[in-house]
Amino acid sequence: MKKSNKIFKSIVILFLTFLYAPALLLPIFSFNNSKVIAFPLTGFSTIWFEELFYENTLHNALLNSLVIAISSTILATILGTLVARASTRYIFYGKKISITFILVPLILPEIILGVCLLTVLIQLGLELNLWSVVLGHTLLITPFSTLIMVSAFNNLDISLEEASLDLGMSSLQTFRIIILPMVSPGLISSLLIGFVISLDEFIIAFFLTGVEPTLPVYIWSQFRFPAKLPSTMALGTILLIVSLILVSLFEYFRRKMELYNN
């Protein structure tokens, strides 16, 4: 038993190495002072990070991505909260099928979502811009928000709400003073995860963005230029650190939500 345990552990560690290897290349080569991404390493340098400061297209792309990520995340969290509240609190006609329908983007390949939305926008003769991407991302993130908010509302004790109503608070007051604070870890989780998904999403943005690139669309365009490679690695390193911070926050609030449960 002991021996097989050790073999098992080494398999797991080997696998973890495989999982980590590509991501580790980002920091390694973004601090390497060579224009080519190859071994042996030639020396330490921060020029690739400095280069990012002078890339105006990058700054525009980043700004576009932030606008899209913030808008679509807030919209999706509002929609997801409404769905989750309806799902956990009321029994009504057509509940199962309509909620399943709202969750469908979870199981559609993203390219299909992109093609569908593009078709409809072209048919309507609408212009492609940042707002078309916001709509696409809202559609994509709403199911994730819904699932997170369903678990947040499930942790909510209904009797607290009833007590507040019995003691004469209006339903709006009850929502603000009782419900909102208790589901806030869920809300924050949903905002964080939605933000990360939107910031990272490429294919829908690629189809719907028109002339304004988002960050992933910008990165995609940089892949064609070998000279831009090291600074793209530097950008990747920054993105990795940012998403690590966001995900750690997500994990923190998720645990907090679980604490409410117990």
Q: Which of residues 181-200 bind another protein (CB under 8 A)?
A: 196, 199-200
Q: Is 238 in the site for another protein (CB under 8 A)?
A: no
List binders of another protein among 144-173 (CB under 8 A): none
* Under 8 Å between Cβ of 214 and 61: yes
Q: Does 133 bind another protein (CB under 8 A)?
A: no
Residue among 33, 50, 59, 111 that touches another protein (CB under 8 A): 111
Q: Does 67 bind another protein (CB under 8 A)?
A: no
Q: Can residue 61 be called a binding residue for another protein (CB under 8 A)?
A: no
Q: Please, what is the minimum distance in Å from the beta carbon of residue 57 to another protein?
A: 17
Which of positions 77-106 make contact with another protein (CB under 8 A)?
79-80, 82-83, 85-86, 89-93, 95, 98-99, 101-102, 104-105
Q: Assess 39 for contact with another protein (CB under 8 A).
A: yes
Residues 135, 165, 169, 249: which binds another protein (CB under 8 A)? 135
Q: Interface with another protein includes 119 (CB under 8 A)?
A: yes
Q: Please choose, out of 19-27, 151-159, 161-169, 175-183, the segment that lies near another protein by the rule CB under 8 A.
A: 19-27
